[in-house]
Amino acid sequence: MDTHEFRLSEITPAECKRLLIQALCNILRNCRAPRYRLVQLHRHRISSDHQATKERATTSGTAAAAAAAAGAGAGASAGGGPNANEVDEEAEEATPETVDHLTGKDNKGEEDSSEHHPDHDLTPEEFHARLYTLHFLDGPTVARYFSDHYNQLTDTYGVMLFMYSVFLTKGMELVAADISDTSEPIIHRTFGYGGQSMINLMLTGRAVGYVWDHEQDVGGLKLRGICEQSDIGYITTMEQMRYCTVGSFYKNPRYPVWVMGSDTHLTVLFSHEKKLVSPETPSEHGRRVFKSYDPEGNNFIASSLLREVLAQLNLVSEPGYVNLMMKRLDPENLGIILLNAFMEEFFPCERHSAPDTFELMHYNGIPGSNDNNKVRYYCGSAILLEGDLKSICASNPMVTCLQTKWPNIEINWHDPWHTPSLN
Backbone angles phi, psi at 155, to 5 degrees: -75, 175
Res 303: pLDDT: 95
Res 79: pLDDT: 35
Running DSSP on this structure, what letter comes out for residue 58? H
**Cα dihedral angle (370, 233, 168, 92), rounded to 10 degrees?**
90
Residue 329, amino acid: L
Rounded (5°) CA angle 197-203-209: 20
Q: How far apart are CA 213 and CA 223, in angstroms?
A: 10
Res 74: pLDDT: 37
Among 101-105, 136-140, 278-282, which stretch is predicted with the lowest mean pLDDT?
101-105
Q: Tens digit of pLDDT for each residue in 43-59? A: 766 554 444 443 444 45
Q: What is the mean pLDDT of the chain?
A: 81
Q: Provide the pairing of β-strand 233-236 with 257-261.
A: parallel
In terms of Cβ atoms closer than 10 Å to its own Cβ (0-12, 13-18, 19+), residue 131 is buried
Q: How far apart are CA 409 and CA 396, in angstroms?
A: 13
Among 170-174, 235-239, 278-282, 411-415, which stretch is predicted with the lowest mean pLDDT?
278-282
Q: Tens digit of pLDDT for each residue in 301-334? A: 999 999 999 999 999 999 999 999 999 999 999 9
Q: Tens digit of pLDDT for each residue in 168-210? A: 999 999 999 998 777 778 888 777 788 999 999 999 999 999 9
Q: Facing residues of 234 across strands? A: 259
Res 87: pLDDT: 38
Confidence of residue 118 (pLDDT cuts 50, 70, 90): low
Res 105: pLDDT: 56
Confidence of residue 393 (pLDDT cuts 50, 70, 90): low
| Percent share of the chain, pLDDT over 70 | 77
Q: Tens digit of pLDDT for each residue in 87-101? A: 344 445 555 455 555
**DSSP codes joined into one string, 260-291:** EE-SS-EEEEE-S-GGGGSPPPHHHHHHHHHH
Domain-by-domain residue ranges, the chain? 8-170, 210-278+353-413, 282-346
Res 61: pLDDT: 55
Q: Facing residues of 201 across strands? A: none
| Percent share of the chain, pLDDT over 90 | 49
The CATH T-level fold of domain 282-346 is: Recoverin; domain 1 (1.10.238)
Mean pLDDT in residue range 239-252: 88
**DSSP codes joined into one string, 85-126:** HHHHHHSPBP-HHHHHHHHTB-TTS-B--TT---GGG--HHH
- Which one has a higher pLDDT value, 405 or 10? 405
Rounded (5°) CA angle 231-31-57: 145
Q: CA 211: distance to chain centroid? A: 10
| Rounded (to 5) percent helix, strand, coil in the chain | 40, 15, 40
Residue 146: CB atoms within 10 A of its CB come to 20
Confidence of residue 72 (pLDDT cuts 50, 70, 90): very low
Mean pLDDT in residue range 250-263: 93
Res 90: pLDDT: 43
